[in-house]
Structure 1
Amino acid sequence: MKSLNESLQGIMRGKNINTNIAELMKKVMADDDVQSFLSANRDQITKEMVRSGQSKLYEFYHEKQLRQQGEATVAPGYSPQLVLNSGQIDVTYVPTKQLMEQERQRHIKRLVQSINMPKFIQHASLDDFYIDEQHATATRTAALKAAVAFTESYQPGHFQPGLYLYGNFGVGKTFLLGAIANELAKTKGVATTMMHFPSFAVEMRNSIKSNSTSEKLAAVKKAPILMLDDIGADAMSKWVRDDVLGIILECRMQEELPTFFSSNFSMDELAANHLAIDTQGDREPLKAQRIMERIKFLSREMPMTGQNLRNKG
């Protein structure tokens, strides 16, 4: 085993430090954090422990200097910390605030599962929802207030209806859903599944061949928060209406799980002009009514009007 002097000399040669051990250790021992550690543990630390722990004291000092100078360290994202370990001075590495914030942001992103949704929802925020003088309308403002109220009052395990946002293209329905999902992840640690329903319906039809429809349904039926975007955009077959959408909504109603929707149609329009008429042109108003009963239980209707923000300069 190398002596402390040999170890430190090796470190100094690698770093081109032109000084002797005594002068180096004098700097180490004068460091404010080293002094604070020795003072806080003076009842437990002996002179012998300090002597035998010089390499650890130097390691702490050296890594601390590298971090302050912005150079590569032995553990990027972690800061050194002096500790007592089995009666010896030791160094442990703890996550920096920056690393913990990065991990927190990654965790938040993982909580929002996006299925065929536009990329912008990843960064959607309630603070960025346009209600300035140029873009504000009474309905947009009311929808934002309802969104804020939901995110502030929602408690996991307690049923709270979601929102059914409807209006013309580009008024911010999808953006607002994304903002709600991100806010719930950030403030409540709640997982949300967002999906573009017409695209999901296509995936479900394609999954019949691979016999994976049950697996795909199970992935969304019991999501803590579910958001179905653009419902009513495409005509539904009886199977999609009854055995996909109907099963999802039935499960969520029984389990009392909040569900959000966005659509170009009001609830009445969705029922009369979309759900009641399948892709074959057959009218089944009772089937549509059954679906709408579940949608009305799971959400509260909110109109959104205003200019098309997709054309915003």
Structure 2
Amino acid sequence: MESIQSSLKQWAVDNERFQQRLNDAKRTLLHDPVVKQALEKVDVSEEVLDQDLIKLYELQKELNHCQQCPGLSQCPNMMKGYQPELIVARKSLDLTYHPCSLKKKADNDRKQRQLINSLYVPKDILQATFDQLDPDHEREEASRKALQFALSAKPGDEGQGLYFYGKFGVGKTYLMGAVANELRDRGIQTFIVYTPDFFREMKSSIGDGTFQEKLDMVKKAQVLILDDIGAETISGWIRDDVLGAILQYRMLENLPTLFTSNYDYDELEEHLSYSERGGIEELKAKRIMERIKHYTSFVTVEGANRRVR
């Protein structure tokens, strides 16, 4: 009997100590600055506080992580890049999560990168900027017109584009990369395409059923850059059903198209007039060129071949 009484007394003492530790922990929690600040924004009873202390512990832990932020990639929070906010839901405390500033910036950067889509274009071209262009008086006029377009383009309202003509290696594609990045910063979606590989891709996509999807993706871009047009092996189908369909849609929708080429207008027309059957289809080539000429300004890119340095 004495043993039972002793055990009960010890249990009472242990329970009192546990309750004291619990009260101390609660007091410490409620005096934490981040918890106090959060509780100032809600109105709850003492009873609700007691039953939802676990939510306050979670809030304290997550927000203290944020105060000692190790960076987004090392974020220790349960939801990486998200901060908790204390709310009252159904007369109980709860937490809702919002993206932190680092998460918002990362998401925005990703969306910005997605504004430039590319097919078969080198990565260094996609990173080009006007600030990085070589100070070259021979290319000054082309650079000025490229920048002017990038700063003033209004897809859907104004469909006028540019046709950059020059010899191999003078920097036409790099200028287009700079245009694409400037447009990205303005929130304008740009698709930059290496034309020869794109046309080959379109031909092979007939077999896998993705032809129309890929065609729509390119022709509906706010700004389309067709790089190195004329370097492809032309066929009547490519000219009429791919290039012709793209240009017709963009003309009707006032969507600007930019071109780079080693051919001037007349040389490109001659190139487009040949068919895979060995015949010459001048009228069909003229139809394509009339669309290109009418909706682009011709820009000559001068300078030495930068690829042999």
The Cα shift of 1:102 comes to 1.6
1:36 partner letter: Q
Alpha-carbon spacing, 1:298–1:61, altered in 2? closer, same or farther (3 Å): same
What pairs with 1:142-153 in structure 2 (closer than 5 Å)? 142-153=141-152
Please give the per-residue CA displacement for 1:177-230, whole angstroms capped at 9, x wherever unaligned: 233233333322x33222211112222333455566445433323332222111
Task: Tell me which residue corresponds to 2:105.
Answer: 101
Query: What amino acid sits opposite 1:296 in the alignment?
Result: K
Q: Does residue 303 of structure 1 match 2:300?
A: yes
Query: CA distance change for structure 1 residues 294 and 39 in 2, over 3 Å: closer, same or farther?
Result: same
SS at match of 2:186: helix
Question: What residue ranges of structure 1 are gaps of 5+ in the alignment?
Answer: 1-18
Listed one character per residue, the Cα deviations across residues 47-99 of structure 1 (whole Å, up to 9, x for unaligned) are: 44443443222211112223426462211111222223334332222111111
| 1:197 alignment partner in structure 2 | 195
Write the distance in 2 (CA, Å) between the matches of 1:76 and 1:127. 35
Q: 1:64 to 1:240 in 2, by over 3 A?
A: same
Instruction: Give me the whole-angstrom Cα distance separating, in 1, the residues matched to 2:146 and 2:182.
Output: 10
Aligned-partner Cα distance in 2 for 1:101–1:230: 35
1:259 equivalent in structure 2: 257
Q: Which of residues 270, 291, 294 in structure 1 aligns to 2:291?
A: 294
Q: Distance in 2 between matches of 1:175 and 1:127?
A: 12
Aligned partners of 1:25 and 1:58 also within 8 Å: no
Question: Which of 85, 107, 116 matches 2:120?
Answer: 116
- Which residue matches 1:275? 272
Question: Is the Cα–Cα contact under 8 Å of residues 230 and 261 in structure 1 kept in the other structure?
Answer: yes
Paired position in structure 2 for 1:173: 172
Does the 8 A contact of 2:138 with 2:303 survive in 1? no
CA distance in 2, matches of 1:74, 1:281: 65
Which among 70, 85, 92 is matched to residue 88 of structure 1? 92
What is residue 163 of structure 2 aligned with on the other side? Answer: 164
Q: Secondary structure at the match of 2:225?
A: strand
Match of 2:246 among 237, 245, 248: 248
Alpha-carbon distance in structure 2 between the residues aligned to 1:145 and 1:88? 62
After TM superposition, the structure 1 stretch with the greater mean CA deviation from structure 2, 119-128 or 250-259, is 119-128
How far apart, CA to CA, are the structure 1 residues paired with 2:151 and 2:91? 49
Describe how 1:200-219 pairs up with structure 2 within 5 A.
Answer: 200-209=198-207, 213-219=211-217
Question: 1:303 Cα shift?
Answer: 1.7
What's the counterpart of residue 239 of structure 1? 237
* Maintained 8 Å contact 1:236/1:275: yes
TM-score for both structures, normalised by structure 1 = 0.78
Change (3 A) 1:48 1:146: farther
Q: Which moved more, 1:55-64 or 1:282-291?
A: 282-291
SS of aligned partner of 1:170: coil
Residue 160 of structure 1 and its aligned partner are, at CA, apart by 3.2
- 1:131 touches 1:137 (CA, 8 Å); kept in 2? no
Q: Deviations over 1:139-175 (max 9, x none)?
A: 3x33333333333333342123122112223333222
Q: Number of paired residues?
A: 285
Secondary structure of the residue aligned to 1:249 is: helix
Amino acid at match of 1:229: D
Give the Cα–Cα distance (whole angstroms) in 1 for the partners of residues 232 and 177 of structure 2. 21
Residue 29 of structure 1 corresponds to which residue in structure 2?
30
Between the aligned partners of 1:163 and 1:113, the Cα distance in structure 2 is 19
TM-score by length of 2: 0.78
Q: 1:62 maps to what in 2?
A: 61
Tell me, in whole angstroms, the C-alpha distance in 2 between the residues paired with 1:169 and 1:285.
Answer: 26
Instruction: From the CA coordinates, give the structure whose radius of gyration is larger.
Output: 2
**CA root-mean-square deviation:** 2.9
